[in-house]
């Protein structure tokens, strides 16, 4: 019998273009094609009966439209700690729609009887595990640095955030925690004493490589456009050198999130008179073609999980720069090997940009190294590591019986 995986995600999945959503569809469809039985559930306003982005063999439940009738949970706990947390974190649980979604997820679990449950976010794990016990292995995916969810928090400290208390409590119930890099696992030791597995996102090495022997005078940043991604830092840095490089352009690809951040970026471009040198390109369905038109990738995020845009740029052979302090970025960019790491200020970003802009042989060298470095994050390795994790979790479950 095929191993059945239940993948549980969040709202705003359908038609979203963020990295976690791309991984959800890739993981569900690929695992189904490789022989797993896959069920995907998430609450959404769209596609009540099916999600067109999922393979036809993947079963889909929209929790918003799921009628569970008079279903009663058989997994609720009634410990003193859960009682206290239920009242302490009342607002957070309401925000997560815990009372509604927790029972709907349990209903699907009872109906589908999966071998493994894989939540895609920490708040989804809270929906599944808070005040409930499951004998099924729960393997948590994290799509960002875990510091987004976990901060020091104490139940009886009024200054502690409810959501952090909730996440710190629920993470202890996981069978495994999947993280991108060893440094992320090191961070989590404060909050999680269980088993972790380091599994990167899959990086597809394209058959084509960017031609860096032909200078196009273009710097690309392909990612979601928001404050954390730091497009403003790149614009401010480029403004310091733009007059010395009038033929060079900065191309910003991606959607604005939130949309009102567009005004911030437009105002910044106007302030520095960069309307002809900084271009907002929008979302592209062909990132490979966009990267082929560039000379340099610039990724000035404040932090990342596993940055898909950066990994795609490196895989196609673009030399890239990013902030030395940015988690995820500083894992993929090896300073003075496949790109340059910068201090967290516009002056140093501008200085490192000029190093790459002025030195074509260096761009070629870093670009070749960039493409080679992404072989450590191949699709084959990603899938092999997930196969091993699922097998280990099921073997451990068998041993406990």
Torsional sign, CA 325, 329, 332, 336: negative
DSSP readout, 254-280? S-BSSTTHHHHHHHHHHHTT-TTTEEE
CB 256 within 8 A of CB 222: no
Helix (H, G, I), strand (E, B) or coil at 1: coil
Cβ-count burial 262-281 (b if 16+ within 10 Å, e if not): eeebeebbeebebeebbebe
* pLDDT confidence bin for 401, thresholds 50/70/90: low
Computed over every residue of the chain, the mean pLDDT equals: 95
Task: Find residue 254's DSSP bridge partners.
Answer: none
Which helix (H) or strand (E) segment is 195 a member of?
A: strand 195-198
Q: Which residues contact 314 (CB under 8 A, 6 or more apart)?
A: 203, 297, 320, 332, 333, 338, 339, 370, 371, 373, 374
What pLDDT, in 10s, does the model give residues 252-263?
Answer: 999 888 888 899
Question: Over 90: is that where the pLDDT of 335 sits?
Answer: yes
The pLDDT, as a whole number, for residue 400 is 66
Q: Read off the pTM.
A: 0.92
4-202+379-400 shares its CATH topology with 218-377: yes
The percentage of the chain sitting over the pLDDT mark of 70, rounded to a whole number, equals: 99
CA 321 to chain centre: 20
Taking alpha carbons only, the member of 260, 253, 310 closest to residue 284 is: 253
**Is the per-residue pLDDT at 18 higher than 90?**
no
Backbone angles phi, psi at 235, to 5 degrees: -65, -45
What Å distances lie between residue 247 and 217, 266, 276, 301, 319, CA to CA? 7, 20, 10, 25, 19
Per-residue model confidence as pLDDT tens digits over 37-96:
999 999 999 888 899 999 999 999 999 999 999 999 999 887 899 899 999 999 999 999
Rounded to the nearest 5 degrees, what angle is found at the Cα of 308, between the Cα atoms of 302 and 309? 75
pLDDT > 90: what percent of the chain? 88
Say if residue 132 is preceded by a cis peptide, omega within 30 of 0: no
The CATH code that applies to domain 218-377 is 3.40.50.2000
pLDDT tens figures, 224-260: 999 999 999 999 999 999 999 999 999 999 988 888 8
Which residues, in sequence order, are CB contacts of 140 under 8 Å at separation 6+? 118, 119, 122, 125, 171, 174, 176, 177, 178
Q: Average pLDDT, stretch 358-378?
A: 97
Residue listed under structure tokens 């690929």: 30
Give yes or no for residue 158 having a pLDDT over 90.
no
Query: What architecture is domain 4-202+379-400?
Result: 3-Layer(aba) Sandwich (3.40)
**What token pair was written down for 207?**
């058959």
Contact (CB, 8 A) for 84 and 106? no
Eight-state DSSP code of residue 7:
E
Is the pLDDT assigned to residue 13 strictly greater than 90? no
Domain limits, the chain: 4-202+379-400, 218-377
CA atoms within 13 A on the CB side of 169: 25
């Amino acid at each position: 019998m095929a191993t059945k995986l239940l993948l549980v995600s969040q709202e705003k999945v359908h038609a979203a273009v963020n990295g976690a959503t791309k991984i959800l569809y890739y993981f569900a469809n690929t695992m189904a094609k490789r022989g797993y039985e896959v069920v995907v559930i998430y609450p959404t306003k769209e596609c009540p009966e099916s999600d067109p982005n999922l393979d036809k063999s993947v079963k889909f439940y929209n929790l918003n439209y799921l009628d569970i009738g008079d279903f009663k949970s058989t997994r609720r706990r009634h410990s003193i700690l859960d009682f206290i947390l239920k009242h302490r974190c009342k607002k957070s649980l309401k925000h997560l729609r815990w009372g509604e979604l927790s029972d709907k997820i349990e209903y699907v679990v009872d109906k589908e009887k999966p071998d493994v449950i894989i939540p895609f976010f920490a708040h989804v794990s809270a929906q599944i595990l808070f005040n409930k016990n499951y004998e099924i292995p729960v393997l948590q995916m994290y799509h960002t640095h875990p510091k987004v969810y976990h901060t020091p928090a104490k139940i009886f400290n009024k200054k502690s955030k409810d959501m952090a208390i909730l996440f710190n409590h629920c993470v202890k119930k996981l069978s495994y925690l999947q993280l991108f890099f060893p440094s992320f696992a090191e961070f989590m030791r404060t909050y999680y004493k269980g088993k972790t597995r380091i599994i990167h996102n899959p990086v597809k090495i394209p058959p084509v490589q960017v031609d860096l022997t032909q200078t196009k005078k273009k710097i690309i940043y392909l990612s979601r456009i928001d404050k954390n991604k730091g497009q403003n830092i790149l614009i401010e840095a480029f403004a310091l050198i733009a007059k010395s490089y009038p033929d060079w352009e900065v191309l910003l690809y991606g959607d604005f999130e939130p949309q009102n951040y567009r005004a911030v970026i437009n105002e910044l471009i106007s302030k520095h008179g960069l309307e002809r040198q900084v271009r907002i390109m929008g979302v592209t369905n062909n990132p490979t073609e966009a990267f082929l038109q560039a000379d340099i990738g610039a990724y000035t995020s404040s932090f990342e999980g596993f940055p898909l845009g950066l990994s795609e740029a490196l895989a196609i052979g673009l030399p890239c720069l990013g902030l030395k302090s940015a988690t995820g970025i500083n894992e993929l960019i090896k300073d003075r090997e496949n790109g340059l790491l910068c201090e967290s200020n516009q002056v140093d970003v501008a200085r490192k940009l000029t190093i790459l802009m002025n030195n074509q042989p260096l761009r070629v060298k870093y670009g070749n190294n960039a493409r080679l470095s992404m072989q450590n994050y191949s699709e084959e390795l990603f899938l092999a590591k997930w196969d091993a994790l699922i097998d280990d979790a099921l073997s451990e479950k068998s041993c406990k019986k």
